Structure 1
Amino acid sequence: MTAASSHQSTLYIAEKPSLAKAIAEGLGVVKRGNGFIECRGGATVTWCFGHLLEQAEPDAYLPDDIPKTKKGSKIWRLQDLPIFPKAWLSIVKKEKGIKTQLATIGKLIRASDVVVNAGDPDREGQLLVDEVLEHFKCRKPVKRFWVSAIDPVSIKKGLAHLKENVNYAGMRDAARGRSRADWLLGMNLSRAYTLTSKSEDGKSRLIAVGRVQTPTLAMVARRDYAVRNFVPKSYLAISALLEKAGVPFRARWKPKPGQSGMDEEGKLLLDLKLGHELVERLAKEKTALVLSAETKRRKAFQPKVYSLADIQVEANRLYGMTADDTLKVCQSLYETHKITSYPRTDCAYLPESQHAEAPAVLAAIAKTFPATAKAVERADTSIKSPTFNDKKVTAHHGIVPVANVVDWSKLSDREQKLYRLIARRYIAQFFPVHEFDETTVELQIGDEKFVAKGKVVVRKGWKVLFDKKEDAAEKKGEDDSSSQTLPSLTKGETVEVKAVEGKEDKTKPPAYFTEGTLIAAMENIWRSFEDPQLQAKLKEAGGIGTPATRAAIIQELKRKTYLASEGRKLHCTELGRSVLLKASPKVRSAAMTAFFETKMQLVEKGEYGLDAFVSEYERFIQGELDALKI
């Protein structure tokens, strides 16, 4: 179906005004009204302001004879738990202008033949418009407008290829399931924990828990504990300075299998006395025998484009931006300036069909950001990096520039910084693969083995775009000796030993979380578990939270003063620790959240019913309440 038929009036309901404006411009604006835009071909475009409806509070489901507080809400009582709604109620949000806009949408629905859901391309975007249609009991044909960028080209494509809205019912149900489960856990367990806990002064205090918030808080608390209780251990790093034909190079000591005095992982020599004796003995050796020398040609493919989590981590590391700030700036680049694609994505790959758009996108980058002109000129659009991979693309592809141009001076400093990062990753897709020769040499000094590694760049490729000081942090932790240039070495020859050295150092504690590293930890929570099955489930679930919600979760924990910032570092507060002490292990556990997300994926695919999911979740909540002897 095309955008609109001449004999039918079509109503587009966009998630927000900026998207409505882009759709209207794509259709052709005829006249602007109060809360809507009339367009060519009998089409009308209207908009929401995000969710116009919200879930009713527990008071709506509780008996009217419950005593009320001075503010007029019903008091919390243990005997009223659990609160399990039989029929879920939605109410109009109280924010200014929402009631009026909702009434406008209702009139337009009644006057239209066909309605188009133009929510954002995700679960929440689907539910956001669908719940408005349900609110007005809409029985008219409903189509779905689905784009992941709002530049003119993407808008026109979306208008020309409307889908059937019913095909997205699973996404709507998944969003609704998430919303209902969050309500059930938050409303029931926060009340139960609060009513059954007392502070030292005997007063009740609010113990608010959430499906994702609490496991996130627990991660920060565990990291704080690990850092504050860390006991450093001394170790000895042994290396040899060698030389052949006037070319010096360094080799590291390789412990024997079962070497005594090592740490649990067999990597660090903790027995300093043994180490110093070893260095003293080896220092007498004058030559080293080459046991093996192997050179392999290695390739480093172009970096993938950004997912939201990736750019949140990067912006925090480079510029100290919070996760929420980064999301807002990415949203502004997408929504206000229309120069990047949809940002709330967990994917770092691109559809193969987008490869053909590269010349237009690169030209737009060079016009928007003139400093990239030379790099764009060198880009080769015949190169197709592994980032273009249909099999790896999820609901939304990675964040990239689009073929739209703005005046660079119109962007804020933060918008310029993030556009630069996004543009650089995209341009890199059209530069050659980075190639280098990696040499590994094993040597024998006395009766001990040493290993020397070297690297020679054969082709700089895409890395010419990344030789900046700001990227030096990415190289932290790399073995410095691995980038050395080795002389030509062959098995059986000997080289001169200039020195054998032992350098004492201490083990380092893990780093405190920053907003960037916490976002990454939420996405990669599977690394915290050893059970392979649980790891697989957590990976499949994409971690805890979603790209769209992680920044908001951190903000909410800070707002409740469960988390506090100290510079870029995040810490769990005393109040946050009291919440974790009260919450059950299941509520604190990221594993429970991962299973939840797995269920949501099944609901989205239509393989598990919404009602069945909610019933299962109610049983879980009842079990938690029973454990508190309520």
Structure 2
Amino acid sequence: MVNLYLAEKPSLARALFLGLGGNENLIKSGQRQGFYQYGDHIVTYCFGHMLELLNPEEHDEKYKKWDLNLLPMRFEPKLKVKDDAKSQYSVIQQLLKKADVIYNVGDPDEEGQLLIDEIITYERITKPVKRIFISDMNLNSVKKSIANASDNQRWLKNGLAALARSICDQAWGFNLTRAYTVAGRQKGHDRMFNIGRVQTAAVNIVNERCLAIENHVKSYFFDIYGEFNINGLNFTASYEIKDSDPVDDNGKINHKAFAESIIEKCIDEPAIIEKAKHKDVNKNAPMPYSLSTLQGDCARKFGLSAKETLDTIQSLYEKHKVLTYPRSNAKYLSNEHHAASRRIISAISQTNPIFKQFADKTDLSLKHKCFNDDKFDNHHGIIPTETSCDFSKLSATEQNIYNLVARSFIALFYPPSVYAHSEITVKVADLQFHTETEKKLSNGWKELYTNDKGNPDIDESLEGETALSSLKLSMQGTCEDVQALSKETAPPKYFVGSTFIRELTRAALKVTDPELKKIFLKKFEDEDELGAIGTEATRADMIEKCFETGFLRKGKLKGYKEEVIVTSDMAKEFLALLPFECKAVDTTAQWIAWGEEIKKGNLTVTQYVDRIYEQINKQVAQVKKNGLNIKVNLTSCPTCFDGYLKKITTEKNTFFSCTRYPECNASFPEYKGNVYIEKHNCPKCGSALILRKTKDDYWFGCSGFKENGCKQSMGCVGGKPVKKAQKRRSFSTKK
């Protein structure tokens, strides 16, 4: 009986083959033929999705034309083999014919389920199919996964949820992009208005931040601080605002006379400790990197774009083999990774000897919370491998990124940083002042993170020079001074590369519907994220596309280490026209909620798609009815009065045509880069004169040449027809 195993990617296929009893020699011999065989076991592999949905024009040639009258487009979803996958796919086809039992070995997520299921469906396979979930590519774990193979039928609905989302993402993008682009062209815009569920929401997140900054109105408030001396300790505490105090919309005191009254009431008055809480706080090392957190750190420290970071990690993974799989949204590791920690740290020290001094201080008996089999899946945190390399042969960027990942892993085996944490409430003149401080007792893992300012994983906002642990309840002292500092409200910060990526992994916080937000957050709770939009595999390309389309721009701005990210004027204007559903994160949350209903068996793919098409139909109908009310700097068409005159350049000439062509076929000549709409008649026959252009000049010719043979031509001065000057005759002086 032939058992065929379809793995999502080559690295998974190799691990699976070894788990089935194969060896490296058989892997090498099977590399060229696209599969590995050991007895009755055949393992082959995909390169991600081998199939893709047909484009509209592949369903019907009429869709080659972008026309509002053809929208919305809806057709039966059909798949085709990707052009760059045809060779390997033919191998899979032949092996499927030989197989008696097929094993789906896609990644343990919805997309991984679909990736293999769609091949089985496309090839109309009716043979038994089983499912293997490989959550760890270590040999023993792979063997356990093989032994626990289950019926693939149990997991089909996970793949159907991914299928429904894939169909609708295509329909959403094609229909709305065409609708808004064609409407824009009718107004003279030659840009493509790309609309995508994830991309447009990402641009809108930036736009909302930009608008908040632009619309920020300065106001002033007072921060009131008291200086206290109690039990020989001098410390500062903030005034605790009461419900009856005069405050602004942000809960800040904005009344100068009131602030001054606090000073008069409290200064030099007796003070007593009303509340004192003390405890030692252990702060553990940060979780291992996911792709998004590593991209954020690389943007912050090295100014790298998300794509530059991904490409570099991919090289460290595939070419140098010193980092694990990069396209991961997970941060957890397995217990087997913990067992391999000595070998991994040894490889780090061999690769870059600078880490040896830190590696020698590790305690491998420590077990960080990231080592958790219950939260670990096939996509784990990015860590170094057990392979070492010649560090000098890495590029500077590769060295920088390897060092970050190596440091992160070593820190997992350092003790926690320990702080003496104190919360103190002081009462003076019936008013309360509060302070919360930390005094570092031991450095722990932070020894590896010296001088890493701006790291979001290192919160030292409460750290102070003085420990307040000696202060006890009812101790008395004096309020020696009170200050009311006038401060100006600050606008939000612009997004930069690192903070933008972080924001995209916290998108659920922007969902306005409480129930949808709850569902969104729950889906990502095991991935240590707050509802991400986009996937780790696609997010970098999506961000690049936002810049390529002209919706986002970045540049240097004083006060920012990284380049700031802003929306272009075109994007601001366009987003202002888009309805909420086309740009809000709520749309993704709703799709996720419906996807969960498919997985529960409460909704079919067809029903899911029908619901999305209700939204698509609504948006297209609005565009058809109202057009696109967007600013243009073009001349209105004097023939139809609905379109605009847009410059057209061909190999032969340049002219202006109505944006409503072919409904309106008006065209006008070009004069010095602008449209020429003046009318002049031939002085000989009365027919219209036509402005024409030579290589270096403009002139007028009679349009009546074909009808009445009029050969009148005139010069052009300032856009007006004038009689051509007679050429001077040259006289010879020779006799």
Q: Which TM class, normalised by the smaller chain length?
A: 0.7 to 0.9
475 and 264 in structure 1: CA distance in 2 versus 1, 3 angstrom threshold: farther
SS state of the match for residue 470, structure 1? coil
Match of 2:606 in 1: 611
- Residue 92 of structure 1 deviates from its aligned partner by 3.4
Correspondence for 1:329 among 312, 315, 322: 312
Q: Aligned equivalents of 1:389 and 1:189: distance in 2? A: 43
Once the 2 structures are TM-superposed, how far is the Cα of residue 180 of structure 1 from its aligned partner? 0.3
Alignment partner, residue 486 of structure 2: 504
Deviation at 1:487, TM superposition (A): 7.2
Whether 1:93 and 2:82 are equivalent positions in the alignment is yes
The code of the aligned residue for 1:533 comes to E
Shift of 1:205: 4.6
Change (3 A) 1:225 1:532: same
Checking the alignment, whether the CA contact within 8 Å between 2:427 and 2:433 is kept in structure 1 is yes
Q: Would the alpha carbon gap of residues 115 and 529 (structure 1) be closer, same or farther in structure 2, given more than 3 Å must change?
A: closer
Pairing partner for 1:485 from 467, 470, 475: 467
- Identify the residue that residue 69 of structure 1 maps to in structure 2: none
- The equivalent position to 1:57 in structure 2, one of 51, 55, 58, is 55
Quick one: structure 1 residues 27 and 82, their matched pair in 2 at CA, closer, same or farther if it must change by over 3 Å?
A: farther
Are the counterparts in 2 of residues 19 and 335 from structure 1 also a CA contact under 8 Å?
Answer: no
Equivalent position SS for 1:212 = helix
Task: Sort the Cα spacing of 1:180 and 1:107 in 2 relative to 1 into closer, same or farther, 3 A.
Answer: same
Q: Give the Å deviation of 1:207.
A: 2.4
Q: Secondary structure at the match of 1:82?
A: coil
1:2-58 deviation digits (Å, cap 9, x = unpaired): xxxxx64x5555545565566677643342564525554366555544434321111
Which residue of structure 2 aligns with residue 548 of structure 1?
Answer: 537
Match of 1:320 among 303, 320, 337: 303
Q: Is the 8 A contact 2:317 2:323 kept in 1?
A: yes
The CA distance in 1 between the partners of 2:220 and 2:250, in whole Å, is: 15
C-alpha spacing 1:353/1:155, structure 2 compared with 1 (3 Å): closer
The letter for the 2-side match of 1:186 is: G
CA offset at residue 579 of structure 1?
Answer: 3.3
Deviation at residue 223 of structure 1 after TM alignment: 0.7
Distance in 1, Cα, partners of 2:189 & 2:383: 52
TM-score, length basis structure 1: 0.83
Q: Report whether the alignment pairs 1:194 with 2:181.
A: yes
The counterpart of 1:588, out of the listed 561, 583, 586, is 583
Distance verdict in 2 for CA 1:419–1:113, change over 3 Å: farther
**What is the total number of aligned residue pairs between the two structures?**
607
- Structure 2 counterpart of 1:422, from 379, 393, 405: 405
Name the structure 2 match of 1:131: 118
Q: 1:333 to 1:609 in 2, by over 3 A?
A: farther
Q: Secondary structure at the match of 1:29?
A: helix
> Identity over aligned residues, as a percent?
31
Q: Is the Cα–Cα contact under 8 Å of residues 150 and 341 in structure 1 kept in the other structure?
A: no
Question: Unpaired runs of 5+ in structure 2?
Answer: 524-530, 557-562, 626-735
The one-character-per-residue Cα deviations of 1:295-329 (angstroms, maximum 9, x if unpaired) are: 23333344333333332322222222222333333
Which shows bigger deviation, 575-584 or 225-234?
575-584
Q: Following TM superposition, by how much is the alpha carbon of 1:220 offset from its aligned partner in structure 2, in angstroms? A: 1.0
- 8 A Cα contact 1:193 1:582, kept in partner: no
Aligned to 1:184: 171
Q: Distance in 2 between matches of 1:153 and 1:362?
A: 21
Q: What is aligned with 2:160?
A: 173
Report how far residue 554 of structure 1 moved: 1.3
1:289–1:494 CA contact under 8 A, matched in 2: yes
2:359 pairs with one of 376, 379, 385:
376
How many angstroms apart in 2 are the aligned matches of 1:165 and 1:397?
A: 23
C-alpha distance in 1, partners of 2:145/2:474?
A: 67
1:616 and 1:245, CA in 2 relative to 1: closer, same or farther beyond 3 A?
A: closer
Q: Aligned ranges for residues 528-539 of structure 1 at < 5 Å?
A: 528-529=510-511, 531-539=513-521
The answer as to 2:255 corresponding to 1:271 is yes
> 1:575: which partner in 2?
570
Aligned equivalent of 2:194, options 185, 205, 208: 208
**Cα distance between partner residues in 1 of 2:357 and 2:255:** 55
Q: Deviations over 1:172-205 (max 9, x none)?
A: 32332221011111112222223334565x4565
Quote the Cα distance in structure 2 between the aligned partners of 1:585 and 1:244: 56
Check whether the contact 1:241–1:249 (CA below 8 A) recurs between aligned residues: yes
Match of 1:70 in 2: none
CA contact (8 A) 2:418 2:440 kept: yes
**Further displaced range: 324-333 or 30-39:** 30-39
Provide the C-alpha distance between the structure 1 equivalents of 2:605 and 2:616, rounded to a whole number of angstroms: 17
Task: For residue 263 of structure 1, give the secondary structure of its aligned residue in structure 2.
Answer: coil
Deviation, structure 1 residue 532: 3.4
Amino acid at match of 1:179: S
RMSD: 3.6
The answer to whether the 8 Å contact 1:11/1:114 transfers is yes
Q: Is the 8 A contact 1:148 1:342 kept in 2?
A: no
Alignment-derived partner of residue 438 in structure 2: 455
Matched, 1:241 2:241: no
Looking at structure 2, the residues matched to 170 and 396 of structure 1 have their Cα atoms a distance apart, in angstroms, of 21
559, 579, 587: which one pairs with 2:548?
559
Contact 1:301–1:434, Cα closer than 8 Å, also in 2: yes
**Higher relative contact order, structure no. (Cα contacts within 8 Å, ≥ 6 residues apart):** 1
Residue type of the partner of 1:80? L
Q: In 2 relative to 1, CA 475–391 (structure 1 residues): closer, same or farther, beyond 3 Å?
A: closer
CA distance in 1, matches of 2:321, 2:107: 14
Whether contact under 8 Å (2:266, 2:479) holds in the other structure is no
Match of 1:388 among 371, 376, 400: 371
Shift of 1:589: 1.5
Gaps of 5+ in 1: 1-6, 67-72
8 A Cα contact 1:194 1:205, kept in partner: yes
Match of 1:28 in 2: 24
Task: Give the counterpart letter for 2:275 in structure 1.
Answer: S
Do the aligned residues in 1 keep the contact of 2:198 with 2:534 (CA within 8 Å)?
yes
Distance 1:584 1:216 in 2: 15
SS in 2 for 1:439: strand
- Tell me how far apart the structure 1 counterparts of residues 538 and 603 of structure 2 sit (CA, whole Å): 23
Output the CA distance in 1 between the equivalents of 2:139 and 2:335.
20
Residue 520 (1) aligns with residue 502 (2) = yes
Relative to structure 2, which stretch is displaced further, 186-195 or 19-28? 19-28
Q: In proportion to residue count, which structure has more helix? A: 1
* Residue equivalent to 2:70: 80
Measure, in 2, the Cα distance between the counterparts of 1:608 and 1:390. Answer: 32
